[in-house]
Amino acid sequence: MEDSEPGTPLVSLCQGEEEAPPRPAEGGQEEVESSLDEHIKQKDLAHGAFKAGKFLIAIEAFTQALRLLPDTASQEAIELTANRSAAYASLSRQYLTRPANRSESAALYGPDPGCLNARALADAQKVLAARPQWAKAHSLMGTALLLSEKYDEAREAFQKGLQLTPDNKACKDGLKAVAEAVGDEEDEVLEEQQVEQQQGESAQPTTPWQPQQEQKQGAQAEGCGGAISDSQSPPFTSKRARVTRALSQHADECECTLCLKLLFEPVTTPCGHSFCRACLMRALDHRSRCPMCRTVLHVGAGQLPVTLVLQRILQRSFPEEYAERAKEEEAAAMRDTEAGAAITLKLPLFVMTTIMPGERIALNIFEPRYRLLLRRAMEGNRRLGMAEVSLGGELQDVAVEAEVVEYAPQPDGRYFVELSGRRRVKIQDCHDLDGYRMASAEVIEHDDYPAEGSPEAAALTAKATEVLHGVMALVEQLTRLAARSSARPGRIQELIAHAGPRPTESSLRTPQGAEALSFWAAAFGGTLALGLDRCKLLRMRSTYERLEAIQASLP
């Protein structure tokens, strides 16, 4: 695959091309022949670029060929629009499947996959409106919808294409792709639940998601075979509770589609679906997608607030059942605590450089994969991981969870953002997702703080005070040097602000204040390139050791 060509007009790709105005009928013979020659030239260029995998060039050439046509509703115009839709979809798929480590060594500049999917869908809709009986039009629609993660609509489009042309290979392959996209996730969830059941970690493992109608039919089929014994019925479904549920006209709407029980501590995803908090946490452990619509979610279930209105409705409508659900979840939480279950974070990684907790960094997001990452993060909890690779090209095992505090989309599709470091994480596992890295990480906890008034606490405060005085002495020295040179004296203050809020000397009396100072001094020292190994400092669980390493780097 070729990297993004610098001459490609990215603004037009993100915002969509304007309809080509009809060319006037009158004109000189030479002008008509010249226009025809240019049209043939652009069309040949587009087909050649498409075959070579240079889809950005193909898109621009198809657009130019369309603009040179005198009749934009002609058969040739429809075919060119269809080919451009295929080029948009192919470029999007190429970006989504490009390995993250390749992009880290050779960055791309181009429209993000979401923008390309929208343009592919728009062209497919034009083609379908002009030729509704053309199987290729339905195939293009299905492909664009599949890339947009609208699986039900994609399946319907491919099926319509097969109704028109039963042996259409593109539609058959599209249906297989939809089945794989949906089925793989369900298989992973089912497999994990079977493992949990065998290990006895959960009294009642959750069931994989499937449409409610299918769940009801399955329940009815089992009911035809015989009555369900009391030992088989869920523990919370008392007789009175079951009667209350049966009398409710909208009882099904109050069930979690993952566990088929009454919603408990309901959380609502950005895509609008509600689940039990615990059920969604288990589902997101398998894949960062909504269990209902498969929308990518860069947000942990534990970070989503409980939907209070829905919770109050459930508590008032089904008081006994909700109380029993609370007891059940409390018992499950106690089992997890006794087992020492660790909560993992799912973080999309921006691989560039690590930052320190409290440090701020401004970024210009232009790569397609990171545009997609940022847009998904903004739809979720506005969090991502700042990571870096070693000199050998391997991803470091430590990163910092950062929050987007400033967000400014640009007309050409780029984003100006400012991030602030929140906490350290250790990367346990990492995989590629749509061109960028997705990590499972655990929060790095500090060592136990020394007891107040102990010799260790006094030594920590003394060391933190020494480091603070050393850093401020360096700041004064740099300020004097900047005043005597052509550099702006205010630049030093900008570097200090970049490191985050400076801890006061009085705050160093507490272990928490000393820890905050260690991160602030490391961020300031890293900006000045004092030879500090940021990743090594982030791995340190001892604040005292971190302060010693920073002090050793000061001039």
**Whether 443 contacts 422, CB under 8 Å:** no
CA dihedral 23, 24, 26, 27 (to 10 degrees): -50
Pairing, β 415-433 against β 398-409: antiparallel
**Whether 236 contacts 331, CB under 8 Å:** no
E-assigned strand segments in 382-492: 383-387, 398-409, 415-433, 436-443
**pLDDT category, 213, cuts 50, 70, 90?**
very low
* 24-30 LR contacts (CB < 8 Å, sep 24+): 25/70
Residue type (1 letter), 336: D
In angstroms, rounded to a whole number, what is the distance separating the alpha carbons of residues 487 and 492?
10
- One domain for residues 434 and 484: no
Q: Which of 312, 338, 364 is the last residue of a domain?
A: 338
- What is the model's pLDDT at position 89? 95
- One domain for residues 275 and 304: yes
Beta-carbon contacts of 372 under 8 Å, excluding residues fewer than 6 positions away, are 112, 113, 114, 434, 435, 436
* 304-313 LR contacts (CB < 8 Å, sep 24+): 304/267, 304/268, 304/269, 304/277, 304/280, 304/381, 305/267, 306/265, 306/266, 306/267, 306/277, 307/266, 307/267, 307/268, 307/274, 310/263, 310/266, 310/268, 310/274, 311/265, 311/266
In angstroms, rounded to a whole number, what is the distance separating the alpha carbons of residues 99 and 86?
22
- One domain for residues 172 and 48: yes
Considering the domain boundaries, does residue 449 fall inside one? no
The residue with greater pLDDT, 113 or 19, is 113
Considering the domain boundaries, does residue 245 fall inside one? yes
Q: Taking Cα atoms as reference points, which of 34, 31, 60 lies closest to residue 48?
A: 60
Q: What is the mean pLDDT of the chain?
A: 79
Domain count, the chain: 4
Considering the domain boundaries, does residue 231 fall inside one? no
Considering the domain boundaries, does residue 19 fall inside one? yes
Give the residue-averaged pLDDT of 404-424: 89
In angstroms, rounded to a whole number, what is the distance separating the alpha carbons of residues 417 and 362?
6
> 385 forms bridges with which residues in the sheet?
349, 401
Q: Which of 313, 338, 363 is the last residue of a domain?
A: 338
Give the residue-averaged pLDDT of 375-394: 87
Q: From residue 157, give the alpha-carbon distance in Å to each of 163, 194, 416.
A: 10, 34, 37
Task: Examine the pLDDT at 409 and tell me if it is beyond 60.
Answer: yes
- pLDDT tens column, 57-106: 999 999 999 998 888 788 999 999 999 999 999 999 999 888 888 888 78
Residue type (1 letter), 240: R
Residue showing tokens 């008392």? 238
Q: From residue 376, give the alpha-carbon distance in Å to each of 90, 146, 283, 308, 351.
A: 21, 17, 18, 25, 16
- What is the model's pLDDT at position 248? 52
CATH value at residue 283: 3.30.40.10
The residue with greater pLDDT, 217 or 501, is 501
- One domain for residues 503 and 527: yes
- pLDDT tens column, 141-154: 999 999 998 888 99
- What is the model's pLDDT at position 28? 59
- One domain for residues 361 and 241: no
Q: Taking Cα atoms as reference points, which of 259, 537, 524, 505 lies closest to residue 388?
A: 537
Considering the domain boundaries, does residue 223 fall inside one? no
Residue type (1 letter), 271: C
- What is the model's pLDDT at position 90? 95
* 550-553 LR contacts (CB < 8 Å, sep 24+): 550/467, 550/518, 550/521, 550/522, 550/525, 551/463, 551/466, 551/467, 551/470, 553/525
Question: What is the DSSP annotation of 309-349?
Answer: HHHHHHHHHSHHHHHHHHHHHHHHHHHHHHTTPPPPEEEEE
Q: Which domain holds residue 520?
A: 455-553
Q: Which of 443, 470, 491 is the last residue of a domain?
A: 443
Q: Does residue 150 sit in helix, strand or coil? A: coil
**pLDDT category, 190, cuts 50, 70, 90?**
very low
- What is the model's pLDDT at position 405? 92
CA 109 from centroid of its chain's CA atoms: 19
- What is the model's pLDDT at position 303? 67
**pLDDT category, 488, cuts 50, 70, 90?**
low
- One domain for residues 324 and 362: no
Q: Does residue 416 sit in helix, strand or coil? A: strand
* Structure token digits, residue 19: 């309809």
Task: Examine the pLDDT at 458 and tell me if it is beyond 70.
Answer: yes
Considering the domain boundaries, does residue 188 fall inside one? no
- One domain for residues 333 and 372: no
**pLDDT category, 1, cuts 50, 70, 90?**
very low
**pLDDT category, 207, cuts 50, 70, 90?**
very low
Considering the domain boundaries, does residue 191 fall inside one? no
- One domain for residues 38 and 143: yes
- One domain for residues 460 and 481: yes
- What is the model's pLDDT at position 302? 58
- pLDDT tens column, 153-181: 999 999 999 999 999 999 999 999 998 88
Helix 490-498 × helix 455-484 angle, to 10° = 150
Q: Which residues of 469-504 are buried (b: 16+ CB within 10 A; e: fewer)?
A: ebbeebbeebeeeeeeeeeeeeebeeebeebbebbe
Rg (CA), the chain: 29
Q: Does residue 531 sit in helix, strand or coil? A: coil
- One domain for residues 14 and 122: yes
Lowest mean pLDDT among 48-62, 146-160, 224-238, 283-297: 224-238
CATH value at residue 369: 2.30.130.40
CATH value at residue 154: 1.25.40.10
- One domain for residues 351 and 475: no
Lowest mean pLDDT among 277-291, 418-432, 467-481: 277-291
Q: Taking Cα atoms as reference points, which of 48, 18, 50, 22 lies closest to residue 35?
A: 22
Give the residue-averaged pLDDT of 442-446: 87
In angstroms, rounded to a whole number, what is the distance separating the alpha carbons of residues 192 and 187?
9
Considering the domain boundaries, does residue 225 fall inside one? no
Residue type (1 letter), 554: L
Q: Which residues of 119-158 are buried (b: 16+ CB within 10 A; e: fewer)?
A: bbbbbbbbbbebbeebbbbbbbbbbbbbbbbbbeebbbbb
Residue type (1 letter), 364: N
Would you give the end-to-end CA distance of the chain in angstroms?
48
- pLDDT tens column, 489-542: 667 777 777 777 788 888 888 888 899 989 998 888 777 756 788 899 999 998
- One domain for residues 102 and 167: yes
> 275 forms bridges with which residues in the sheet?
267
- What is the model's pLDDT at position 110? 77
DSSP H or E run through 185: helix 169-199
In angstroms, rounded to a whole number, what is the distance separating the alpha carbons of residues 383 and 392?
27
